[in-house]
Structure 1
Amino acid sequence: MSRRPNTSENSPLLNGDTETIPIQQNIPQRSSSNTPSSQAFKIAAAMYSFTTLGLFNSSLGAVLPLLSRHYALTDLHVSFIFLVGPLGYVIAAQCSDAVHYRFGQRGIAVAGPVLQILSTVFAAAHPAFGWVLVAFVAQGLGTGLLDGSWCAWAGSMERANTVSGLLHGSYSVGGAVGPFLVTLLAAGGRAWWEWYFILAGASTLSFIVLVAAFRHEDATAYRQSKRSSVVDVEADAKVMFKHRATWFCAAYFLTYVGTETAISGWVVSFMWRYRHSSLTQSGLTSSGYWIGMAVGRLTLGFATDRIGVRRATMLYFCIAIALEALFAVVVSSAVSVVLMVMLGFIMGPLFPSGVVVLTRLLPGELHVAAVSFVASLGQVGGALLPFAIGAVVEGLGIGVFRFAILVQTILSLFVWIAFARLRPALQPVHTARLED
């Protein structure tokens, strides 16, 4: 009779009491592409890639009013942009695993930035609005390939919390810079589409850096890393959906990413219309939230590694709920800005922690497919939950925003508790710090 795997906080995720799958003897222990210097270059390249993802996603809110004015759109029409981005993510989730098995990580390093370059150049040409939506689908596809792939790769590393924190911290840096740059361009009398020329340049640099870093990571290298020489993407997908971890993580990302996006998307309107702050101070609330998240993701990964991802994430959620409760009752604009910075800081590790736990619960060959799938569900939540808040605000007023994000964060905590209680499949994976 097999023993129950030891998943204590101070023990490896799997130890000698569990069965492991033999590793093929002809696989080299360390290739030239897996030296410490090479790994550091890959991490740096992925960090820059995530910075560009942050630029893409965070700048959308600042671009929307400019788009609406240029194309004479109603709020309903311009809001379709929020829906087409997740569509690209969903497509990416369906094809990411196939790209890995046929072209390796090198294929992702090529396809993702190329799609971003094409979409930005097309948007910069400012065609009819319907074609702009098509460009945003392509951009979502490229972003989804890069996001899911590098998340899965980082989550399977030995110091997964630290590396994932670095990636998502880089994303938040881009998230903080993007709206500021768009506002700066608009204040200087520049057209909205000139921002997409800048994004095209950033994506081109991303292409160069990623291809250089992952040039040796072809299909053979990827299959060897997963101990498989058979391309069976459909089988992987079917097996992935049989694991409860996939569905619990998808539910967690659906609620959490929706909460994160709702905060960044509505807090400026709330501060301006309800707290009667100046437009500049209202904008600082959003920027402060992203800056806090960047710092949290870059620094709290180390604390998460030491405390343990399950216990640490529950602690972060409890602190976030307390901060949101304070934000709901204070009336000072200055205090509200400080609370948003603190909230962003403490929420920083919440997304990377979900990726880390998922990769510990699933066999290695399912990581890319599973992370791509749950990331796409997260983007769906990032589109639907802000719309839901908008519908409530339409009927009850903008003041309800502060209570809506509090309820959503509590819901995310409950989903996390259920997700974190799952036990891993028996597999030889890197050491992880997870408690009972």
Structure 2
Amino acid sequence: MSSHSSFGTLVTIESSPQITNPAAVVRKDKQGIALSPSDKELDEIQWGKSSRPPSIPTSGIQTPLTPTDLESSNPPTPKKHGAVDAVKSLSTPKNKRRLLSACMMNFANGLNDSAPGALIPYIEKEYNIGYAIVSLIFVTNAVGFILAAPCTHALETRFGRCKTYIFSMSLLVAGYIMIICKPPFPVVVASFFLLGFGMAVNTALNNVFCANLANSTAALGGLHGGYGIGGTIGPLIATALASHGVRWSFYYIITLGMALCNLVFSVFAFKGYEKDLPTQLLTALQRTASRQSYEDEKAKKKKNPLIEAAKNKVTMIGAVFIFAYQGAEVSTSGWIVSFLISYRNGDPSEVGYVSAGFWAGITIGRFVLSHPCHKIGKKLAVVLLIAGAVAFQLMTWLIPNVIGEAVTVSIVGLLLGPVYPCAAAVFSKLLPRDIQTSSLSFISAMGSSGGAVSPFFTGLLAQHVGTVVLHPICLGLYGVMVVSWVCLPRIRKRTE
């Protein structure tokens, strides 16, 4: 009984909130080194005893954690420090508006990118030019994307995300006005440079935003699904207008209106975007046990993100993969109409809708196949999708029937649809957070250059051989995609 009473007394004394001699209550590690009680108390005040981050031990000498470590560990966050979760969660009204704004921008980009395929025959006729010359619009569009790659991160760092979106949308507005005003063809070529630069900036920012949301797969699927919807509607409207005698450039009045709407809505959605980030950083720093870790983080940020991105293996392999992917995608959508006119005697007012079928396949694929791809594993799913695209591309080449080829082209689009969002999700997991914006900007730029170089060379060869070269070029690009995809490293749990 006495021992039980003594034990109860001991428990009563130690559980009491009244500590009469704080100096005497000093934690020590196994080596007898005193640890500051203030660190423990602050830690428990912030996190509570039951929600302590698992990565921070309660005894012993702990390794200092960087803010990025703490961000990636995703511990439970108290309500008063909810900015960390608010930055990632799609359940907050702010992020819902931001995702909607990003999807609307990608929808407008799809309207822009899918139209040239249906409009090329009318552009050639108005300016009396051939395949090789009209292909210059793809080249200058790619130059805009490439030059935007080193600028996107610098623009966002200097001006903030909201003002960077304003800059991007303003370039698009300027480019569309130039096209609508019935300019000489060299001005049309120059306007596509502005369009490429503006779209590259918002595409990179939108990919980074969606890739870092809590449910990145769904967010990226919606983002690129919006692009696919725009890509489906674009050729339908362009063909309907041009085939009824409306000047081809008037199609861009629609994209101009979308650019103006996106300009206004992006300001509304992303205004004050950076205000969440200082709270997030402060919360992480409060949990950091050493000042040295903060100094290391500052030194890390001083590195040039673009140089670090260029040195990164995943960035380079991803750039090759997306280069080949968008090369095949844009080549198919841009030249399939001309192929059907030249080799299947198709009527331009009818076969122009085949390009819309291709983009409809992409859209359906992104919405319907993204979830099954997530279930079976993105890396395996991409290989299977490319294999299917190869089979139906061969059918498109060999079936001597416009209706049959329209169906097979749509299925090619269906299979290619989930590839980009799956790849973006994989890249975001493999890339360090501090170079994500620069890396995805570079990958996006290389993708758009692929979407220009491949159609351009298709046009050059078509000038001498015929548009039948479209299919061998696409098959070769599918091969490049498979090789580069297999070369990607395995996905591991983030440690940075």
Q: Could you state the TM-score of these two structures normalised by the residue count of structure 1?
A: 0.85
Counterparts of 2:185 and 2:281 in 1: how far apart (Å)?
44
Deviation at 1:97, TM superposition (A): 0.5
Matched, 1:312 2:368: no
Number of positions where the alignment pairs a residue of Structure 1 with one of Structure 2: 412
**Counterpart residue number, 2:365:** 296
Q: Does 2:92 correspond to 1:92?
A: no
Aligned to 2:272: 216
| CA distance in structure 2 between the partners assigned to 1:207 and 1:424 by the alignment | 38
- Against the structure 1 CA distance between its residues 333 and 126, is the aligned structure 2 distance closer, same or farther, given a 3 Å change threshold? closer
Q: Does 1:23 align with 2:70?
A: yes
Return the alpha-carbon distance in structure 1 between the equivalents of residues 230 and 419 of structure 2.
18
Could you tell me how far apart the structure 1 residues matched to 2:445 and 2:279 are?
24
Please say if residues 156 and 356 of structure 1, whose CA atoms lie closer than 8 Å, have aligned partners that are also in contact.
no
Alignment pair present for 1:267 and 2:336: yes
- Tell me if structure 2 keeps the 8 A contact 1:309–1:353: yes
Post-superposition offset of 1:74: 4.5
State the shift of 1:81 in Å: 1.2
Residue correspondence of structure 1 range 106-185 to structure 2 within 5 A: 106-185=162-241
User: Which residue in 2 is equivalent to 1:63?
Assistant: 119
Distance 1:73 1:231, change over 3 A: farther
Which residue number corresponds to residue 442 of structure 2? 373
1:8 counterpart residue number:
none
Aligned twin of 1:9: none
Task: Name the residue aligned to 1:256.
Answer: 325
Distance verdict in 2 for CA 1:225–1:65, change over 3 Å: farther
Matches of 1:92 and 1:149 in 2, distance apart? 12
Q: Which runs of 4+ in 1 moved over 6 A?
A: 24-27, 225-231
Q: What amino acid sits opposite 2:408 in the alignment?
A: L
Q: Is the 8 A contact 1:155 1:161 kept in 2?
A: yes
Structure 1 residue 252, shift from structure 2 partner? 0.6
Does residue 248 of structure 2 align to residue 195 of structure 1?
no
Asked if the contact 1:161–1:304 (Cα under 8 Å) also holds between the matched residues in 2, the reply is no
Q: Is the 8 A contact 2:323 2:451 kept in 1?
A: yes
CA–CA separation in structure 1 for the residues paired with 2:240 and 2:281: 45
Distance in 2 separating the partners of 1:150 and 1:86: 19
Match of 1:11 in 2: none
Whether the 8 Å CA contact 2:217–2:421 is kept in 1: the answer is yes
Larger relative contact order (Cα-Cα within 8 Å, sequence gap ≥ 6): 1
Q: Name 2:474's counterpart in structure 1.
A: 405
Percent of aligned pairs with the same amino acid: 24
Consecutive unaligned residues in structure 1, runs of 5 or more: 1-14, 429-436
Q: Find the residue that maps to 1:276 and give its secondary structure.
A: coil
1:157 Cα shift?
2.6
Contact 2:243/2:349, CA 8 A, preserved across alignment: no
Instruction: Tell me the CA shift for residue 400 of structure 1.
Output: 4.0
Equivalent residues of 1:362, 1:424 under 8 A apart:
no
Deviations 1:226-281 (A, max 9, x none): 98778957621222122100110011111111111111122112222223344355
Report how far residue 137 of structure 1 moved.
Answer: 1.4
Distance across 2 between alignment mates of 1:137 and 1:178: 20
Q: Tell me the secondary structure at the aligned position of residue 344 of structure 2.
A: coil
CA distance in 1, matches of 2:477, 2:278: 38
**Which deviates further from its counterpart, 76-85 or 48-57?**
76-85
CA-CA distance at 1:180 after TM superposition:
1.9
- The CA deviation string for residues 119-161 of structure 1, in whole angstroms up to 9 with x for no partner, is 2123222334333333221121111101111112212233222
Deviation, structure 1 residue 32: 8.6
Corresponding residue for residue 279 of structure 1: 348
CA shift at 1:327, angstroms? Answer: 2.9
Whether the aligned pair in 2 keeps the contact of 1:259 and 1:408 (CA below 8 Å) is yes
The answer to whether the aligner puts 1:384 opposite 2:440 as a matched pair is: no
Q: TM-score, normalised by structure 2?
A: 0.75
Q: Is contact 2:204–2:444 with CA below 8 Å preserved after alignment?
A: yes
Measured in 1, the distance between the counterparts of 2:165 and 2:306 equals 22
Against the structure 1 CA distance between its residues 86 and 234, is the aligned structure 2 distance closer, same or farther, given a 3 Å change threshold? farther
**Secondary structure of 2:225's aligned partner:** helix
Matched residue, 1:4: none
Aligned partners of 1:147 and 1:136: how far apart in 2? 16
Aligned to 1:336: 405
RMSD between aligned residues: 3.0
Deviates more, 1:20-29 or 1:134-143: 20-29
Counterpart Cα distance in 2 of 1:262 and 1:222: 44
Q: Residues 165 and 299 of structure 1 are in contact (CA less than 8 Å); yes or no, is this contact kept in structure 2?
A: no
Tell me which amino acid in the other structure corresponds to 1:39: N
In the alignment, is the contact (CA less than 8 A) between 1:116 and 1:203 conserved in 2? yes
2:262 is aligned, of 202, 206, 229, to 206
Partner of 1:416: 485
CA shift for structure 1 position 54: 0.8
Q: Write the deviation string for residues 69-114 of structure 1: whole angstroms up to 9, x where unpaired.
A: 4444454433221111111111211111012222332123212111
Q: Distance in 2 between matches of 1:62 and 1:402?
A: 18
Asked if 1:103 corresponds to 2:103, the answer is: no
Structure number with bigger Rg: 2
Q: Is the 8 A contact 2:131 2:459 kept in 1?
A: no
Contact 1:42 1:214 in 2 (8 A): yes
